[in-house]
Amino acid sequence: MTLVAGHPGPAAVPKSLVANPVLSNWVTVADDGIVAVRVGKVDLGQGILTALGQLAAEELDVGLEHIRMLPAHTDKGPDEGLTAGSMSVAESGSALRLVCANVRALFLHEAARRWQVDVAGLTTDNSYIKTSDGTRYTTYAELAGTVSLDVDVSADVATKSGDDMRVVGTSAARLDLPDKIAGRPRFISDMRLPGQLFGRVVRPPSPGSRLRDVDDSVIGQGEVRLVRDGSFLGVLGGDEAEVERAAKKLRAACSWDESPGLLPSENDLVTFLKRGPHETIPVIEESAVVDGGAGAPEGKRLRAQYSRPFLAHASIAPSCGAARWESDGRLSVWSHSQGIHRLRDAIAQALDLDVTKVSVEHVENAGCYGHNAADDAAFDAVLLARAAPTHPVQVQWSRWDELTWSPLGSAMVADADATVDDAGRILSWTYDVWSQGHTARPGYSGVPGLLAGAHLERASRYPPATDPPLPAGGGTTRNAVPIYDVGHRRITGHRQLSSPIRSSALRSLGSFLNVFAIESFMDELAAAAGRDPLEYRLAHLRDDRAREVLETAATAAGWGGDAHHDVGHGIGFARYKSKGAYCAVVAEIEAEHDIQVRKLTIAVDVGRVVNPCGVRNQIEGGATQATSWTLKERVRFDNTRITSGDWESYPILRFSEVPDIHVELVGRPDLPSVGAGEAAQGPTAAAIANAVTHAIGVRVRDMPLTRSAVVAAIESENP
């Protein structure tokens, strides 16, 4: 049969299967009954492999304990592109369900053939295959040797309906946590292969630096080797502590030509972001545009500007990678990349290798929350490993490397402009947002885009970040379109075409600032009309799922009532990417000294819930991280160097600062599952800012909402 992606009707084949139709690429069944599943998505700490394991167990009718989720590998298993954008349950999940339903059908047929009975009279139950009267039975294990899975998936096999599901919808425990909680080796930095060497890269002190000179005598005559190629400088050896010391000495023995004045002023990012050239991204342009704004000129006009600074992914584990050049010229790479196939292609392109000679296997690391330095660390390992063929070389980045050289989430600024009638009803809405691009993943711009490439003697350009296309959710303009009825709309993104600051995908991309801006502005419009923020939103909102989520959060939080003793409440809401999860957040904050978020009450609709505990964990974690971004985080720099290179200069939320979080799941067992990982980011920020206004009457439009930002806002309101 021919497979067509996106074909309407029941026989549509999930996107991941079009390129990877062979069942055995996804699933193999061993004669001990263990089902090995290899998907193209990777676990980043979000628990996706557990959720996908549940889907496999469900369709096969085997216990979750019989499922083994194998690491993604470019030579084995399907290529499913990136693990990003909260798409894994939707993409990989639907593919895996169909694959497993096919596998089950093949096993049923084999049993029917053996027993010479009609397959319609057979069923599966907890790893057994049996006649419906239970008189004859066998197992997946017994039939494994005779059923070939080297066949293409058929779209005509039915998957289970919601009512029949027993594993999906339960809070199955995460498959990986027992190892992690016991402290067993599990992460890429824990890898110890035979003959392994350890590497460190001595990074330049700032963007645009050139290595002028290095006194390599400082590392002495020991077994630590030095690799230099242009401004790329590294060391490797068999004793990690020794290598670390050598790198430190070498760092002190380097002289660099830096580029003073290359970086913008950290205190005037608005000017920096609005200075072109930009790519203009027209998202919506409706008729009757007048006066620089959308819509009719009548009505009262309100305007406001919102911003966020550069943010770091700030993974708790600095990036790490490993590579080994085999004696036959093949290259093996281990990486915690979000896209191992793209990394493979980028490495092959960068070094002019035959791509079939490069393989990349995924190994877990700590959560990355977007495109951090995972791919770069892998490429560092590839470069250093050239100096020691047949030895695996593991490169560990430092904390400073991670916070200053990983791609950052771009700073952004948005101007919102609306007209309203006498009752406050919105008549027109104009919105402009400026940002650097939100993706610079390997290969995205047709060039490898791996950091070290820009430091080599024959340097390859490190490309400026671009944006994912609008149908994929966009980047700068992600969630720039309000979900509300706002009359005539003109919504435009302005992506900066080049920048000295490296930016790429950070959890939720532009959505974080856009939702913060839209939801803050909705509160400002409500306040100008003297209306309650929740009532005001509902009056402009038709989508029933949206209304239910907002009302659920409000009810659970006991919405309404006045602020007292510097305590306030605020609400924020969005549907992620306008087609994903709905999420409403009510924040309770205290603004006596620093802003303290006391409680977040959250309602979320992710369609069918595969694992309720997992969805809650993602929402709680996302909201906590968003609270950290909103209150504390800001990448610092002077005009030459990024200066926030440790946890003191880049503080994140600590235990005592983390709010209580209550999550309500609005169940939709009949609707497709969508991801939960990014849904809470923007709504949380807006809810906090709106609660600050409720508590102390001041509107803070620039993140982070530190004490000095509050003071600045007070001063600008009372000049």
Applying CB under 8 A, the residues found at the interface with other proteins are 44-47, 171, 173-174, 176-178, 180-187, 189-190, 192, 239-242, 244-245, 314-318, 364-367, 369, 396, 398-399, 613, 617-618, 620-625, 628, 646-648, 652-656, 658-661
Could you write out the DSSP letters of every residue in 333-371? EEE--S-HHHHHHHHHHHHT--GGGEEEEE---S--SBS
State which residue, 45 or 204, has the beta carbon closest to ligand FES. Answer: 45
Distance, in Å, from the CA atom of 627 to the CA atom of 634, rounded to the nearest integer, reads 13
Measuring CA to CA, which residue among 214, 635, 705 is closest to residue 400? Answer: 635
For position 316 contacting ligand FES by CB under 6 A, the verdict is yes
Among 17, 39, 111, 366, binds ligand FES (CB under 6 A): 366
State which residue, 318 or 449, has the beta carbon closest to other proteins. Answer: 318
State which residue, 79 or 176, has the beta carbon closest to other proteins. Answer: 176
- 10 Å Cβ neighbour count for 105? 17
Tell me the closest approach of the beta carbon of residue 181 to other proteins, in angstroms. 5
Residues pairing with 564 in the sheet = 567
Torsional class of 220: left (φ above 0), alpha (ψ -120 to 50), beta (otherwise): left
Distance, in Å, from the CA atom of 626 to the CA atom of 682, rounded to the nearest integer, reads 7
For position 45 contacting ligand FES by CB under 6 A, the verdict is yes
Structure tokens at 27: 């699933």
State which residue, 234 or 474, has the beta carbon closest to other proteins. Answer: 234
Q: Scanning the structure block, which residue is given the tokens 């670390």?
A: 244
Tell me the closest approach of the beta carbon of residue 336 to ligand FES, in angstroms. 13
CB-CB contact of 119 with 112 (8 Å): yes
State which residue, 29 or 600, has the beta carbon closest to other proteins. Answer: 600
Distance, in Å, from the CA atom of 414 to the CA atom of 274, rounded to the nearest integer, reads 10
Distance, in Å, from the CA atom of 677 to the CA atom of 638, rounded to the nearest integer, reads 33
Tell me the closest approach of the beta carbon of residue 289 to other proteins, in angstroms. 42
Q: Which does 239 bind (CB under 5 to 8 A by kind): other proteins, ligand FES, none?
A: other proteins
CB-CB contact of 661 with 76 (8 Å): no
State which residue, 289 or 652, has the beta carbon closest to other proteins. Answer: 652
Tell me the closest approach of the beta carbon of residue 298 to other proteins, in angstroms. 46
State which residue, 45 or 437, has the beta carbon closest to ligand FES. Answer: 45
Pattern 276-315, ligand FES, x by CB under 6 A: ----------------------------------------
Tell me the closest approach of the beta carbon of residue 390 to other proteins, in angstroms. 21
CB-CB contact of 588 with 556 (8 Å): no
Among 237, 367, 645, 704, binds ligand FES (CB under 6 A): 367
Structure tokens at 326: 């085999």
State which residue, 117 or 316, has the beta carbon closest to ligand FES. Answer: 316
Q: Which pairing describes strands 210-214 and 412-420: parallel, antiparallel, or unpaired?
A: unpaired
Site residues (CB under 6 A) for ligand FES, limited to 215-254 = none
State which residue, 366 or 385, has the beta carbon closest to ligand FES. Answer: 366
Distance, in Å, from the CA atom of 594 to the CA atom of 67, rounded to the nearest integer, reads 48
Q: Which does 648 bind (CB under 5 to 8 A by kind): ligand FES, other proteins, none?
A: other proteins
CB-CB contact of 342 with 360 (8 Å): no
**Helical (H) or strand (E) element with 713:** helix 707-717
For position 682 contacting ligand FES by CB under 6 A, the verdict is no
Sign of the alpha-carbon torsion through 41, 42, 43, 44: negative
Pattern 323-362, ligand FES, x by CB under 6 A: ----------------------------------------
Which residues contribute to the site for ligand FES (CB under 6 A)?
45, 316, 366-367
